[in-house]
Structure 1
Amino acid sequence: MQFAANISFHILFPTITIALGWALMGFKLAYNRTKNEAWMDAYRLWVKVFALSFAMGVVSGITMSFQFGTNWPGFMEKVGNIAGPLLAYEVLTAFFLEAVFLGIMLFGFNRVPGWVHTLATFLVAAGTTLSAFWIIVLNSWMQTPAGYEIRGGVVHATDWGAILLNPSMPYRLTHMLLASALTVSFLIAGMSAWRWLKDGGGEGVQRTLKAAVYAAALLIPVQIFVGDQHGLNTLEHQPQKVAAMEANWETQAHTPLILFAIPDEKVRTNHLEVAIPSGASLILKHEAAGVVPGLNDYRGNHPPVAPLFWGFRIMVGLGVLMLALSWFAAWTIRRRGVAGMPRWLARALVAMTFSGWAATLAGWYVTEIGRQPWLVTGVLKTADAVGPVGSAMVASSLTLYLAVYVVLLAAYVAVLYRLARLGKAAPEATPMFPIPGVAPGPAEPLAEGAKP
């Protein structure tokens, strides 16, 4: 529970920074092409959101990293020869790349040539994606380990190519990158709609709102397709996880798709079940008579059913809601423009501002709880990796973590809406992040190729 609290808080912020870096790159390229100050207004606002999210991700990530040693010493003792290098590569490549060029991106806007600032924005965005790559490689390897052997009770790498491209990695990486893009699309759309409701917003608000809605409308069908492929891959390599997601107890043909039920692990059945006949077979086997494995084939070696069953439905339900809202909003904006958008639609976008967070957490719980009772599937059980930490210590530190996280999360959301509310309140000549004692540069960034 303590580690779940830490990783749940941490994942919120990389989910934003991964895609927001590329959104900033898009804003900057649009400004470079058109010289329309509206795009620069959007950049100035959202680069502050990026900086805040990046800082929160770093701090919460440090806390999470410490717990590998304090609470889970068996993890590194058993698989450290693989997990250690992958975590080190993430720091040495992605994190250093982000940290080095983030300063130029934030503070060099009026102090370096325009092309240097654009390059810095690109490298920071690339760094966030590279960071996601290394972390997803490790997590995927824990789900579907490959390219290793066990000698003396310790895991050793035998094929780094197989480790990097383990069976589930391409699906998980693509699914996570799209989840980040959708999270950012609805975040930008929701905050922009909130500003539009308050004062009509400026041209920058309308442009970002339109871009975010169109991006969401394009990405959500792709995410649904990738999610389906990811599910088929999971069925192949972790069938007990899929069985728990579907609350399917018996291996059978014509397996129904359960829309609603109350799974009961004690008696191994479902109560109040509402199902579509043969629906699960059609989705998972692409034929009505397809045989889908059931949980009773994996007694003692399958994850808890209820968290996966409900988590999966929350994720899918939010995905369907994202699809319906983004498509309708895109159709409305295309016909009537942002200015002609009905206020109820803008309020709906505001209500969905953080829907990406909820969907990501639900999907992450399905992924992580679905691996239980294994920490590394078939290699290391969770119970064998935990350290001898007293329950009183865990309970007290968990309480402290939760209290701090609630305060930080509330402050984070409050700052986001404060930034959105201020809009262009600051003078145009003020840099995005003023440096004390340093005079601000010109209002416009230097032209591409110009001398500073």
Structure 2
Amino acid sequence: MPWDAFPSALDLARFQFAFTVVWHFLFPAFTIGLASFLAVLEGLWLATGRAVFIETYKWWLRIFAVAFAMGVVSGIVMSYQFGTNWSVFTDRAAPSIGPLLGYEVLTAFFLEAGFLGVMLFGLNRVGKALHFVATCSVAFGTLLSTFWIIAANSWMHTPAGFEISPEGLFLPVDWWALIFNPSFPYRFGHVVLAAYLTTAFIVGAVGAAHLLRDAANAHARLMFSMAMWMALLVAPAQVVMGDLHGLNTLEHQPAKVAAMEGHWEERRPMAPLILFALPNMAEERNDLELAIPGLGSLILGHDWEAEIVGLKAFAPSVRPTNVPLVFWSFRVMVAIGLLMAALGIAAFVLRLRGRLYGTPWLHRWAVAMGPSGLIAVTAGWIVTEAGRQPYTVYGYLRTADSVSPIAAPAVATSLAMFVVVYFVVFGAGIWLILRLMGAPPHPAQEGPAEGAPIRTAGITPAPSLPEGRITQPGPAE
């Protein structure tokens, strides 16, 4: 086989970051919402005195501890790749996004590290009010971490508040504009709602699974009921936020939207909504296209006559490098979102009829939807990051110019090691979480053992390490 048939160092570095960030984001996407869920449970316990709330809290607290630990471990790995594989990007962009990542440590990390131990082990050692403050602080810390990481990632998509020095460095000149860059509010809202939906459907699936075994289990009923309320309220809100985010992306990254929608023609009034197609990059057209006429213009431009810019309006060198990947990832995300909304509505109708806990087909549907949030957020990040290509800093710094001067065999070796270690370590961690989820919740539920470290797959996370949720934005997924 000729040497040029092997992947380049750039391709391997991109795949390595994509592999590690996908694994990592599975855990923060769950723990961001789960931390808030735990805060709500404890608050309801304090307000009502009902034991079912604190017992359910303790049951989920063990799962949160394991998932949090895996978020820590997987998040740390992300940082090292900036120096090893993406040193040019790091050198040039660090003046602008480096402080944002530092603020994440100084604020969210310290908040989480300071209160996590109290949350996990202090329920019987400190007052109820102080423990509730600790739980709320950890939950707020997850959102604060998300704020800074999404600010940095959004800046890479819609850079603002900077100037380029003669040495090619991105120097900040307006921190307000840099942090609250044009896409930040929409991306932040979209990610937070996605995390809440992810948690809701995992909690709902677990509750539904236990209802199928015992429809009278009060803890399972509580889980399922709260999850279905979240599905009913948050899934439609996510549809609205997704529309706003899409309009913002159309304004600032029109080539990405053209790839998402599968439009090739340069300008197209009354553009169709393409439901199914096989994007053909070589021929610059779609094969086997199935579309609804005019609906694309209505959705993207909120006008039947709106002109939609297609991929042919952009030079091939600045189009997304993998249109089929962006096109189909977007459809996976949207399809799952619609199924989430449908489940929430179905559960609400059955709730009104008094059949929420006695309808097995609904519970089986909820169990099947358990991992849907994780799949949706993964597809969403693929759309976001693959659609940004061929840039790391959109419009200013190309991915090919961001990679470290490192040989392909070195990247391939580290990638192979990551694949083996991740599947072993995180496979074991996921198995442990599933095992904990499979244990029926019951009265007098115990939380994490006090005075003992949390261990998962042989790893003991230090309380002083940051969770690294949604950790550092990826230059090359």
Residues 384-425 of structure 1: CA distance to partner in whole angstroms, max 9, x if unpaired?
A: 110122222222322222233233443333222322332346
Per the alignment, residue 136 of structure 1 pairs with 150
Per the alignment, residue 218 of structure 1 pairs with 233
Inter-partner Cα distance in structure 1 for 2:151 and 2:261: 26
Q: Alignment partner for residue 85 of structure 1, among 86, 89, 99? A: 99
Inter-partner Cα distance in structure 1 for 2:119 and 2:79: 27
Structure 2 residue ranges without an equivalent (≥5): 1-14, 454-477
Tell me the secondary structure at the aligned position of residue 308 of structure 2: coil
Q: Does 1:276 align with 2:292?
A: yes
Per the alignment, residue 69 of structure 1 pairs with 83
User: Is contact 1:191-1:417 (8 Å) kept?
Assistant: no
Q: Which has the higher contact order (CA 8 A, sep 6+)?
A: 2
Inter-partner Cα distance in structure 2 for 1:118 and 1:290: 51
Per the alignment, residue 305 of structure 1 pairs with 323
Q: Aligned-residue CA RMSD in angstroms? A: 1.6
Per the alignment, residue 33 of structure 1 pairs with 47
User: Is contact 1:18-1:180 (8 Å) kept?
Assistant: yes
Q: Does 1:379 align with 2:400?
A: no
User: Is contact 1:78-1:380 (8 Å) kept?
Assistant: no
Per the alignment, residue 126 of structure 2 pairs with 112
Per the alignment, residue 446 of structure 1 pairs with none
Inter-partner Cα distance in structure 2 for 1:205 and 1:159: 50
Per the alignment, residue 219 of structure 2 pairs with 204
Tell me the secondary structure at the aligned position of residue 396 of structure 1: helix
Q: 1:34 to 1:274 in 2, by over 3 A?
A: same
Per the alignment, residue 186 of structure 1 pairs with 201
TM-score by length of 1: 0.93
User: Is contact 1:231-1:284 (8 Å) kept?
Assistant: yes
Tell me the secondary structure at the aligned position of residue 95 of structure 2: helix
Inter-partner Cα distance in structure 1 for 2:135 and 2:94: 34
Structure 1 residue ranges without an equivalent (≥5): 438-452
Per the alignment, residue 353 of structure 1 pairs with 370
5 Å-filtered alignment, 1:54-65, equals 54-65=68-79
Q: Alignment partner for residue 412 of structure 2, among 375, 395, 400? A: 395
- 1:337 shift after superposition: 4.3
Inter-partner Cα distance in structure 2 for 1:370 and 1:132: 21
Inter-partner Cα distance in structure 2 for 1:365 and 1:118: 37
Q: Alignment partner for residue 172 of structure 2, among 148, 157, 174? A: 157
Count of aligned positions: 435
Q: 1:421 to 1:199 in 2, by over 3 A?
A: farther
Counterpart AA for 1:136: I
User: Is contact 1:110-1:431 (8 Å) kept?
Assistant: no
Tell me the secondary structure at the aligned position of residue 103 of structure 1: helix
Per the alignment, residue 353 of structure 2 pairs with 335
Counterpart AA for 2:206: M
User: Is contact 1:81-1:155 (8 Å) kept?
Assistant: yes
Counterpart AA for 1:368: E
Inter-partner Cα distance in structure 2 for 1:424 and 1:26: 18
Between the two proteins, what is the percent identity of the paired residues? 46
User: Is contact 1:76-1:83 (8 Å) kept?
Assistant: no
Inter-partner Cα distance in structure 2 for 1:228 and 1:17: 25
Per the alignment, residue 301 of structure 2 pairs with 285
- 1:279 shift after superposition: 1.3
Q: 1:369 to 1:95 in 2, by over 3 A?
A: same
TM-score by length of 2: 0.88
- 1:430 shift after superposition: 5.1
Counterpart AA for 1:244: A
Tell me the secondary structure at the aligned position of residue 292 of structure 1: strand
Per the alignment, residue 433 of structure 1 pairs with 449
Residues 216-260 of structure 1: CA distance to partner in whole angstroms, max 9, x if unpaired?
A: 111000000110010000000000000011111112111111110
Inter-partner Cα distance in structure 1 for 2:205 and 2:369: 6
Per the alignment, residue 252 of structure 1 pairs with 268
Residues 59-96 of structure 1: CA distance to partner in whole angstroms, max 9, x if unpaired?
A: 11111110000000011111110121011100110011
Q: 1:339 to 1:286 in 2, by over 3 A?
A: closer
Counterpart AA for 2:60: W
- 1:328 shift after superposition: 0.4
Tell me the secondary structure at the aligned position of residue 433 of structure 1: coil
User: Is contact 1:45-1:423 (8 Å) kept?
Assistant: no
